[in-house]
Chains A and B, each alone.
Chain A
Amino acid sequence: GAVVSQHPSWVICKSGTSVKIECRSLDFQATTMFWYRQFPKQSLMLMATSNEGSKATYEQGVEKDKFLINHASLTLSTLTVTSAHPEDSSFYICSAPLFAGANVLTFGAGSRLTVL
């Protein structure tokens, strides 16, 4: 079945540094990927839609300069949290549809970011 792989699964960094999270689609190509953020004991909030070969589409209230998204190939999207601060600590989850227009998404296992 379709698998989405995220790396790293957890990361701890110092305040002010940048952290990159990778999201890969295995065995299928994803022209679109979605990045979600989940605070402890809360729901998933869509941050942005990553589009292969073009700029990402950010949801209202999400700082695009803070959360840089790059979708350089059909199997890889990256989320870079720039100049991370403790309030950026969260669980970040990516997902991808098996094919364009598919209503069903496959989710990665998530990446837990802790900023000290």
Chain B
Amino acid sequence: AQSVTQLDSQVPVFEEAPVELRCNYSSSVSVYLFWYVQYPNQGLQLLLKYLSGSTLVKGINGFEAEFNKSQTSFHLRKPSVHISDTAEYFCAVTEGFGNEKLTFGTGTRLTIIP
């Protein structure tokens, strides 16, 4: 069975500083990986996804993530954060092509300090 680990429950970062949110997964088969962002009292918005191809994936709002199969990681990065990036970030995984069931990590709360 697949699982996702987000080691950092909270990450405070100063505005305009870089940030990395960590995500590790475990699976015995090929996986598809996702990062979602959740603003307060809202649903989830897809930031980016890795399905195949280039291991460096670029998403919305200046975020990017790199799929590292050997380290089973999919860390999310942004070179310069903004106040509006304050939100909860979830890493998620699904196994196999056509499998729509997502398994989510426990989330990382990113707080931007002015």
Contacts and interface: CB of A to CB of B under 8 A. Distances in A.
Interface in A61-116: 93, 95, 97, 101-110, 112
Listed residue (A103, A107, A110) with the most chain B CB atoms within 10 angstroms of its CB: A103
Contacts of B109: 41
Interface stretch (B54-62, B65-73, B79-87, B99-107): B99-107
Given A32-B100, A97-B100, A103-B97, A42 B106 contact: yes
Nearest to A6: B43
B51 A43 contact: no
B43 A108 contact: yes
Interface residues of B, number: 25
A109 B22 CA distance: 25
A103 B32 contact: yes
A44 interface: yes
Contacts of A102: 100
A103 B94 contact: yes
Contacts of A109: 42-43
Interface of B: 32, 34, 36, 41-46, 49, 51, 90, 94, 97-107, 109
Interface of A: 4, 6, 32, 34, 41-46, 49, 93, 95, 97, 101-110, 112
Interchain residue pairs A-B with the least CB separation, the first 9: A101-B98, A109-B43, A107-B44, A107-B43, A110-B43, A43-B106, A43-B104, A103-B32, A44-B104
